Structure 1
Amino acid sequence: MPAVPTSAPRPLRELLHGPGPAPPVVRPGDVGGRAAWQTLVHEGVLRVLRADAACPAGRGVDAALRASVLAPEVPAGAVVTARTAVWVHTGRGRPETLDLTYPAGRHRPERPRGARLWQGHLLGPDTRRLGGVAVTTPQRTLVELVLHGARYPETPLLAAALLRAGADPGRARRAIEARSRVAARGPAHAALSAAAATLVGVEAAHG
C-alpha cells in the first residue's frame, strides 16, 4: 500500500497568519504554548511587551496597546498609576508588578498578588481610559510616582520621561504641597528636582 502523503509541519511563524489579521497581543496560549511563544520571540516574529504578552514584530505600539496588556490583571475600581502608568504612557521601564491606586471614598479593590495599591485623591480629569483600563494621566502619574516611588533608583529617569511627555513639574509641586499630611513631601520634591536634572542631562547628551 503506498504511503499516504503527509503535509510538512507549518512553521511557527505561520501560527500568526490565520484568515484574519494577527491579534494585537499574543500570549503563549494563542500559539500553542510557552515553547512556541518563546521560539517566536527568539526568531524575532514577536516583540515582548511585558511578562507573557507580546505583539507581532513591526506593529506600532502605543499607550492603548500597552494598557490593554494589563487589562486582565487590573481589578475593577483600580487605576493604573506611578511606575506602571509611566510604562503605559511612555514605554519607559517594564514593570513586572503593578502600581495601582483608587479614588478616596471608594471601595478598596482587591489587590493582585505582588501589586502595590494605595488610596489616591483622584478627580475626574486625573484619569483616562486606555485599552480598557483606567490610567492616571501623565500629569497625575508624575505626582503619584514621586510620592509613592521616590525611594526607587529609577524614579528620576521615569519622571524625566513624563516631563518629556508634557507633564508640568510646577503643577506637580503644587499638587504635592496641597496634601497637608503627606510625609513624603520632601522625598517627592527631591525626586522632581532629580528628574529635572536628568532631563537636562539627557537633552544635552542628544544635542
Structure 2
Amino acid sequence: MDDVLRIGEPLTYTELMDLALDGLVFRLTDSCWVPVGTRVDAELRARALGRPAARGLVLSHHSAHWVWWGVGTGPTTREYTTRSRRRARRADDPWITYERWVQGGDLARVAGIEVTAPARTLYDLVLLAWEDSGDEEQAAARLRRSAAQVPAAERAEFLDYLDDQYRRPHVRALRRVAAQVFGPDGTGGDRGINRR
C-alpha cells in the first residue's frame, strides 16, 4: 500500500472511508489518507497537499504552516503566494492566492514542492493577522494557537528574520506582535526588538 492514498487513485471515497472505519488508514487532508502507523512529517504533509494547480505558485500562509508544523487534518482551502509579483487570481479558483513575491531564502522545497521557508511562513501569518485586525492585541491573540506548534529554536530564528526586514508594510507593528507571540515565554520576554 502506498503511503499517500487519494480519492480515485485507485480507491473511491467510500472505499477509503471503509478503510478508515476499519482502522487501517487515517485522513490527512480533505482528499488524502495514509496508512495507520505512517510517520507524518513535513515531507508527507507537502505531498498530501500536492503541487499547485497553476504554475508560479508557492504553498504559503496556513498551508505552509501546516506543512512545517501541522497537526491534525490539513487545510481544506490551499493558500499560495506568487513567486513574482503578478496578477494570478481568478474568481473561480478553489484556493487563495496572495500576489506578492517569494524568492531566495524565503523559498524552500519539501518533497519537490515549493513552500515558503519557515521564517517567511511566520512572517506571512503575522502580516495577515495584523492586516485583518489592525490591532496588535487582536493579531497576537489570533496567532497564539499557530505559534504554539512552532519549536523554540524556529521562533528565535523568526524573530531574527523579522529584525532583518525593512521597507516592508507595517514592519514595526509586526515586530511588536511577533515579540508578544513568538518571544521565549510567549509574552515577548526580555528580547530586544530592532526598531528600524
Query: For the superposition of Structure 1 and Structure 2, which TM-score range results when normalised by the shorter chain?
Result: 0.7 to 0.9
> 2:119 maps to what in 1?
139
Q: Tell me the amino acid that sits aligned with residue 54 of structure 1.
A: W
> How far apart are 1:149 and its partner, in Å?
3.5
> 1:104 maps to what in 2?
84
> How far apart are 1:91 and its partner, in Å?
1.8
- The answer to whether the 8 A contact 2:106-2:117 is kept is yes
Query: Residue by residue, what CA displacement relative to the aligned partner does 1:121-148 show, whole Å, maximum 9, x if unpaired?
Result: 4331211111231001111111111112
Change (3 A) 1:74 1:184: farther
Q: Say which SS state the counterpart of residue 86 (structure 1) adopts.
A: helix
CA distance in 1, matches of 2:78, 2:18: 27
CA distance in 1, matches of 2:44, 2:63: 13
Alignment of 1:170 with 2:151, yes or no, is: no
> How far apart are 1:64 and its partner, in Å?
1.2
Q: How many residues align?
A: 176
> How far apart are 1:104 and its partner, in Å?
3.3
Alignment of 1:193 with 2:173, yes or no, is: no
Query: Residue by residue, what CA displacement relative to the aligned partner does 1:20-41 show, whole Å, maximum 9, x if unpaired?
Result: xx11211232353111111111
Query: Residue by residue, what CA displacement relative to the aligned partner does 1:49-106 show, whole Å, maximum 9, x if unpaired?
Result: 110201111011111111111224442110111111111011236321112111334x
> 1:36 maps to what in 2?
15
> 2:147 maps to what in 1?
159
5+ long unaligned stretches in structure 1 = 1-21, 202-207
RMSD: 2.9
Change (3 A) 1:161 1:43: same
TM-score when scaled to structure 2?
Answer: 0.74
Give the stretch that moved more between structures: 96-105 or 114-123.
114-123
Q: Tell me the amino acid that sits aligned with residue 146 of structure 1.
A: V
- The answer to whether the 8 A contact 1:103-1:122 is kept is yes
> 2:194 maps to what in 1?
none
User: If you compute each CA radius of gyration, which structure gives the higher value, 1 or 2?
Assistant: 1
- Identity, in percent, stands at 26
> 1:86 maps to what in 2?
65
- The answer to whether the 8 A contact 2:77-2:94 is kept is yes
Out of 110, 125, 133, the position equivalent to 2:105 is 125
